[in-house]
Amino acid sequence: MGFGIIGGMDHLLPRPRLTETGAGSAEIAPGSVVSGPAPLADAVRLALPVLGLRPGDAATAAVRVAEDPGLGPEAYALTIAGDGVRITAADPAGAFYAGQTLRQLLPAEAFRSALVPGTSWTVPCGRVEDAPGFSWRGAHLDVARTFLPKREVLRMIDLMAAHKLNRLHLHLADDQGWRVESRAFPLLHEVGSHRPRTITSHRGEEPAFDDVPHGGHYTLADLTEIAAYARARAVTVVPEIDVPGHASAVLAAYPALAARPRERYEVLDRWGISPAILSPLPATVDFLTTVFAEISDALGDVPYFHIGGDECVLDDWAASAEISAYQASLGLESVGDLHAWFLRRLADALAGRGSRTVVWDEAFVSGGLRPDTIVMPWRGEHVGRRAAAAGHDVVATPVFPMYFDYAEAASPEEPAGLGDAITVADVAAFAPAPPAWLEEERARVVGVQFQLWSEHIPDGRALDYRAWPRGCAAAEIAWTGGPAAEDFLRRLDAHLARLDAFGVEYRPLSGPRPWQRGGAGWRRHRPGDVAVQDVMRHLHELSQSADSTRPSM
Residue of 87, 7, 6, 90 whose CA lies nearest to 47: 87
Residue of 78, 47, 301 whose CA lies nearest to 164: 47
What single-letter DSSP state applies at residue 180?
A: B
Shortest approach of ligand TNX to residue 454 CB, angstroms? 8
Sign of CA pseudo-dihedral 123, 124, 126, 127: negative
Shortest approach of ligand TNX to residue 422 CB, angstroms? 11
User: Active site includes 174?
Assistant: yes
Asked if residue 250 lies in contact with residue 188, where contact means CB atoms within 8 angstroms, the answer is: yes
Among 109, 181, 222, 405, binds ligand TNX (CB under 6 A): 405
Nearer to ligand TNX, 185 or 378 (CB): 378
Nearer to ligand TNX, 405 or 408 (CB): 405
Nearer to ligand TNX, 97 or 403 (CB): 403
Shortest approach of ligand TNX to residue 240 CB, angstroms? 10
Asked if residue 19 lies in contact with residue 9, where contact means CB atoms within 8 angstroms, the answer is: yes
Other residues' Cβ atoms within 10 Å of the Cβ of residue 343: 27
Looking at residue 512, its amino acid is P
> Is there binding between residue 378 and ligand TNX (CB under 6 A)?
yes
String marking each residue 430-469 x if it binds ligand TNX according to CB under 6 A:
-----------------------x-x--------------
Shortest approach of ligand TNX to residue 199 CB, angstroms? 13
Nearer to ligand TNX, 26 or 427 (CB): 427
Among 269, 310, 316, 420, binds ligand TNX (CB under 6 A): 310
Among 74, 130, 181, 311, the active-site one is 311
Sign of CA pseudo-dihedral 182, 183, 184, 185: positive
Integer Cα distance of 245 and 363 in angstroms: 12
Shortest approach of ligand TNX to residue 245 CB, angstroms? 9
Among 217, 246, 495, 525, the active-site one is 246
> Is there binding between residue 277 and ligand TNX (CB under 6 A)?
no
Integer Cα distance of 215 and 238 in angstroms: 22
Shortest approach of ligand TNX to residue 378 CB, angstroms? 4
Task: For 18-55, give the secondary structure using H, E and C.
Answer: EEEEEEEEEECCCCCEEECCHHHHHHHHHHCHHHCCEE
Nearer to ligand TNX, 165 or 418 (CB): 418
Q: Backbone phi, then psi, for 393, in 5-degree steps?
A: -70, 145
Q: Which residues within the stretch 524-553 sit at the binding site for ligand TNX (CB under 6 A)?
A: 553
Q: Backbone phi, then psi, for 46, in 5-degree steps?
A: -70, -25
> Is there binding between residue 360 and ligand TNX (CB under 6 A)?
yes
> Is there binding between residue 479 and ligand TNX (CB under 6 A)?
no
Q: Given the rule CB under 6 A, which residues bind ligand TNX?
A: 310-311, 360, 378, 403, 405, 418, 453, 455, 553
* Active site amino acids: 174, 246, 311
